[in-house]
Structure 1
Amino acid sequence: MANSIYVVLFSIVCIKVSLADDPCQTYKSFPSEDRRDTLYELGDSESPVSDKYIAEAWYGSLMGLATSPPGAYKCGTFFPVWAKQEVVVGDGSVDVTVCTQIPDNDCAESFIIKAKECGSYKVYDLKRTAADSSYCFAAKDGDLLCSQSESSSGFSSQPAHFQSSEIRRNKGICARTCVTVY
């Protein structure tokens, strides 16, 4: 009887430890995710999104990393970071080579991050970037672009997509309707 109780307690502890280590359960939301879309152009008086001081951790998003150079001054930053290949994720995490784009060079600097599939969204184990540089995302066909649940700050605390035309027109204020890209 006592052995059975120890086995049950050990099993519960193992399950809790494995969930705590799962980035699908413990990821952070991207700061300024509404400005990280490939079609978002930095306004004249806007400060660029910068991941220079981002906490190195797992971040979740419904959008995938951009897989082609978006152009300098896109994605709400001066120097966007994009994935050199489509992020195809299996059961575990995979290495993804990302590039920092500058005006005259699509891949001025490259480095490796990790990505993991978590059902309808992906999580990325991010590293800090150079100043005025940030990770860039792009909606794909079939992506849900706007979240119906919004926090008091106007954006969902869960991964959410924002329709690019709404971002450009309204500087990040997303319509309250959901739109699917086709």
Structure 2
Amino acid sequence: MFYTTCVVILVLQISLSDAAFDACTNYTSMKYVDRRAVQNQLEIGSINPISDDFLESGWYRIESAAGENMPTEPPGSLRCGTWYPIWLNGTLPTTIGEEIVGQVCLQGFTKNCSLTWNIDIKYCSGDYLVYNLVRSETTSSGYCFGTEAVTATIETPSTSIATNTDDPINGFDPCDQYSLIDYQDRRAATRTLVLGEYTAISDDFLTSGWYRVERSSCEKMPTSAPEPFHCGTWYPIWLNGQLPTTPGQQVQQTVCLQSFTQTCLYSWNVDIKLCTGDFFVYNLLNSKIASSGYCFGTLDVCAVKEDDTPSPNANTEYTLEKETKEYVKILVVVGVIFIIVVVVLSVLLAVYCRKSRRKITNSNNVPQPGKTNKTGISPPLYKRKTSSVNIQSKTHIDSPPPYRSREPSVTSIGNFNPDKKLTATDIFAVKNTDNI
């Protein structure tokens, strides 16, 4: 009975949790929707490809003029703003409230369906679709939505809409309720992004709203296209129009995204107001392009932090810091050169020692018959000499040999008297043998 009750409670909790969550109201708006259309072909080198291997898995809604439907046929490589488009290998739900499990395919350069996985798709009562997307496992791959590409390039200045908002509606005045833009000193049009020194500013993470640049001499957005890799980012965003000139005046102008090949690859509108205190506030929208950022300030001084601005009459911390960095760079270069010189000298010394050792070894060797020396003259044949051996008598100390008389044996025909010693005269005297 106890276990049955627990099972019933668990089923009720699951049912209530499912009922409490509604994907049609709990979703996130998809980024870069205008670039995800099938007809949007990626221009390599002009902009970074969409890469959904950084996408956070969850429910998403597509709000784009190109459409919200995921294509059900292979789009082709380098489509949908990415290298490897992800498309739906099936059909979309058609009945309100219907939720299906669909299979998506990643298209490669040679195969229409290199990888597959499943996602959930639901048709909501507001006549729109939501997708439960899973993070891709492949770099430079992205989900496709919509068919026709949205043309966002505008080469002519937009028409400004000027209004006077000295009397704010509903008590809201952007001149009093704004946020300070981040990285002010890095957003100057004269500031070049040094790869590896700083991370590129990326205003696709910017929270949309009213912003102010606090430095009065650097608060104006440039009205001409900066170069790529300026304003502390890869793709600078500049004002394709004019700033308001009358205090209290608010205008709507077009901003452009500068790419490597086009001065205005994408554009959208922002509101700008000149406040009574003689400063500007900008109603900025988050960019749809990674590594892109809004530009503010055109003077060289805008590329330097305000508290580090160099004075013409005195040495400042900025100058000291800059000189210190230069000295460090010089020391690093000198150190690297010194290490290279030491390594080269060590190698040369090792080679020299090896050659010297080889010469000494060869000079001590006996020349071999038939071989030619360095001068090309054959050495004389080796002649073996007779060896001389110094024969010395050896004395055996342990057991000397028995004494042997050196006196010669005498054979006598006559009587031999052993007691008689022979003298030298007796031995060598010539005897008369006539009587014998």
Deviation at 1:26, TM superposition (A): 1.2
8 Å Cα contact 1:100-1:106 kept in structure 2: yes
User: How has the CA–CA distance of structure 1 residues 111 and 25 changed in structure 2, closer, same or farther, with 3 Å as cutoff?
Assistant: same
Deviations 1:113-170 (A, max 9, x none): 000011321000000112110100124xxxxxxxxxxxxxxxxxxxxxxx52525888
User: Is the partner of 2:24 in helix, strand or coil?
Assistant: helix
Please tell me whether the aligned partners of residues 68 and 83 of structure 1 are also in contact (alpha carbons under 8 angstroms).
Answer: yes
Normalised to the residue count of structure 2, the TM-score between the two structures is: 0.29
Taking the aligned partners of 1:26 and 1:19, their CA distance within structure 2 comes to: 12
Say whether the 8 Å CA contact 1:83–1:99 is kept in structure 2: yes
Counterparts of residues 167-182 of structure 1 (less than 5 Å): 167=152, 171=266
1:19–1:83 Cα change, 3 Å: same
- Judge conservation of contact 1:56–1:128 (CA < 8 Å) in 2: yes
Cα offset for 1:88?
1.9
More strand by percentage: 1
Q: Distance in 1 between matches of 2:123 and 2:93?
A: 8
Q: Secondary structure of the residue that 1:106 maps to in structure 2?
A: coil
Please tell me whether the aligned partners of residues 89 and 116 of structure 1 are also in contact (alpha carbons under 8 angstroms).
no
What's 2:21 paired with? 21
Q: Cα offset for 1:68?
A: 0.6
Q: 1:71 is matched with which residue?
A: 76
Residue 21 of structure 1 aligns with an amino acid whose one-letter code is: F
Q: In structure 2, what residue type is equivalent to 1:82?
A: W
Q: Which residue of the partner structure matches residue 166 of structure 1?
A: 151
Number of matched pairs? 136
Percent of pairs with identical residues: 30
Does 2:43 align with 1:38?
no
Which position in structure 1 is the counterpart of 2:62? 61
Partners of 1:60 and 1:87 in 2: how far apart?
14
Give the number of the structure with larger relative contact order, counting CA–CA contacts within 8 Å between residues 6 or more apart: 1
Give the distance between the partners of 1:24 and 1:39, measured in 2 at CA: 28
2:262 counterpart residue number: none
> TM-score, normalized by length of structure 1?
0.67
Q: Which has the larger radius of gyration?
A: 2
Aligned to 2:49: 48
Change (3 A) 1:28 1:19: farther
Within the alignment, does 1:83 sit opposite 2:91 as a pair?
Answer: no
Matched, 1:128 2:135: yes
Partners in 1 of 2:31 and 2:20 — Cα distance?
22
Amino acid at match of 1:102: G
Task: For 1:20 and 1:172, locate their aligned partners in 2 and report how far apart those are by CA, in whole Å.
Answer: 40
Shift of 1:20: 5.2
Describe the SS at the equivalent of 1:35: helix
Unaligned runs of 5+ in 2: 1-15, 156-265, 270-436
Q: Offset of 1:99 from its aligned partner?
A: 0.2
Displacement, 1:92? 3.7
Question: Any conservation in 2 of the 1:30–1:59 contact (CA below 8 Å)?
Answer: yes
